Amino acid sequence: MQSKPVDASRDNNLESFNAIPTVPPIHRIPYELLSDIMLCVLTLHWESDEWGTDDYDWIIPSQLLRLCSICQRWRQVALTSPRLWTLEFFPLLPDYGETSVAINGMFLKHSAQSAISIQLYSDTHPQRETIDELVSAAHRWKSFNVFYDHVPALFDSEFLARMAVGGMQSLEELFLRTPPWPEMATRLDIFQHAPRLRDVGLQMDGTISQIPPLPWTQLTRLALKYMSPQLCLDILVRCENLVHGRFETDQWQRLPRDTSTCVLKYMEELEISIDIRSVDEHLDPFLRHLELPALKSLTLRLYFYRHPEYARSILWLAPTLNTFLTKSPRVERLELCDCAFAEDVPEILRHTPFLTHLCFNPRFTGDIHDEFFEALWYDSTAPDAMLVPKLENLELYNTGVDFGEESVLEMIESRWASDEDLANMDSPSRVARLKQVSFHSYMLEPPLQKFSEAFMEKISMYQGFTFEWYQ
């Protein structure tokens, strides 16, 4: 019959099909791609803070070990992908504060020679064996972060000496928040020979009277909390390549020793916070001493929480700030917290033509009035006289209730235009379209101005504009 050749051909095709290995598609993924997928699974919650520092939810060791238990190939890929074993901070804490020598040893082994991050808290209790193993790998440390509320018994002079012997050639980030710890204060020179160190954070005790021996000139990012403003300033002027600086200190009990101007030509972000306890000098000496031609973001804060009675008698900052800003003409973000009065803000803003974001908090220095918003109106008949033509975001805190919603609405309307309006303009608009205005208060006092339903309804019609209010 004619069907026999067909049957024979079908049988041959079936035999050929059965001979094809039935490998699941997941096992055909190339090694490198599967390793990348595992990396993505373990870092799904990566974020960045306001300083651009990477942050993510804690990765517990069992998550990675679970990937190793899927199948033999997955295990092989995971075990030979060192970067998977360096995502977590060492020492690993699988049991709520109690480290496991075996787990830490396993992760160190499979991380090969990749850089690792060390992070220690007061509630962690690493065994001596784990500490010894980590110190032996000090040449691989990428970051070393210590957050202790008491002197750690394990970290004696021998520990620091072994760190120095191990070398710091891979270290990029150092953060120390510790109590009085003489050994650490005198042995910070072990980080002098860390050629990659760029990011340092120090929260130091008041007993330290001399500048710690660190490679200040090579730093690009510094966060310093110390009660002596003189020491903070002395450290700052040594950081000639600094780009981002954050300082938290106390008031000046005596004027700076050196009154000459220091130019930091690379600094783009400066944040200074001072705890007010008297009517002595506060921010002025910093601003008088510094010249920052590349500055883009400036944050100045005075804290009156302990002594609010000094808020109205504190030294006037506006003249010094105006002079400082004339030498930093490229500022795009300005935050003033209880360091300026509302009536001084318009004159301050005359020195910030490139400002896009203004944050103002006058909680202890007085309420905002209609004149504040009137100064921000855009008058098309006098465009050269307007303030901050590039302003896009206005963020206000603790404003009080001494202004009317009409002045706010008129200010917003003068700085907003629809897409159609912008498209029909003969030439580009000389004022940026306002994107967001927000009113915030985290306290019941002072009260926060409320806005009518009619106001909120009209604001909601503005395309691409956001209005926020909450207390």
Looking at residue 51, what is its pLDDT? 45
Tokens in use for 206?
Answer: 């008041």
CB 310 within 8 A of CB 337: no
244 with 289, same domain: the answer is yes
383 with 439, same domain: the answer is yes
> Could you tell me the mean pLDDT of each successive run of 10 residues in the chain, 471 residues long?
56 59 75 85 60 50 81 88 84 62 85 86 73 85 80 64 77 80 66 91 76 91 92 94 96 82 96 91 93 97 83 81 95 95 94 96 88 91 84 93 93 89 83 93 72 91 88 67
- Residue 225 domain flag: yes
Looking at residue 56, what is its pLDDT? 47
- Residue 210 domain flag: no
316 with 239, same domain: the answer is yes
379 with 469, same domain: the answer is yes
CB 257 within 8 A of CB 227: no
467 with 396, same domain: the answer is yes
- pTM, rounded to two decimals: 0.84
Looking at residue 96, what is its pLDDT? 45
- Residue 413 domain flag: yes
The DSSP string of 237-252 is HH-TT-SEEEEEEE--
Across the strands, what pairs with 335? Answer: 299, 359
- The count of structural domains within the chain is 2
- Residue 321 domain flag: yes
225 with 333, same domain: the answer is yes
390 with 461, same domain: the answer is yes
- Residue 69 domain flag: no
Tokens in use for 53?
Answer: 């520092």
- Residue 355 domain flag: no
CB 195 within 8 A of CB 214: no
238 with 287, same domain: the answer is yes
381 with 416, same domain: the answer is yes
Looking at residue 417, what is its pLDDT? 86
- Residue 229 domain flag: yes
- Residue 295 domain flag: yes
Looking at residue 206, what is its pLDDT? 65
Q: Which class for 226: exposed (0-12), middle (13-18), buried (19 or more C-beta within 10 A)?
A: buried
Looking at residue 444, what is its pLDDT? 60
Looking at residue 210, what is its pLDDT? 79
Q: Cβ atoms within 10 A of the Cβ of 429, count?
A: 15
241 with 321, same domain: the answer is yes
- Looking at 298, 321, 340, which one is the last position of a domain? 340
Q: At what angle do helices 72-79 and 61-68 cross, to 10 degrees?
A: 130
274 with 227, same domain: the answer is yes
227 with 318, same domain: the answer is yes
Beta strands in 240-289 (DSSP E): 244-250, 262-263, 269-275
Q: Which class for 282: exposed (0-12), middle (13-18), buried (19 or more C-beta within 10 A)?
A: buried
Looking at residue 354, what is its pLDDT? 96
Tokens in use for 209?
Answer: 């009277």
Q: Which domain holds residue 224?
A: 220-340
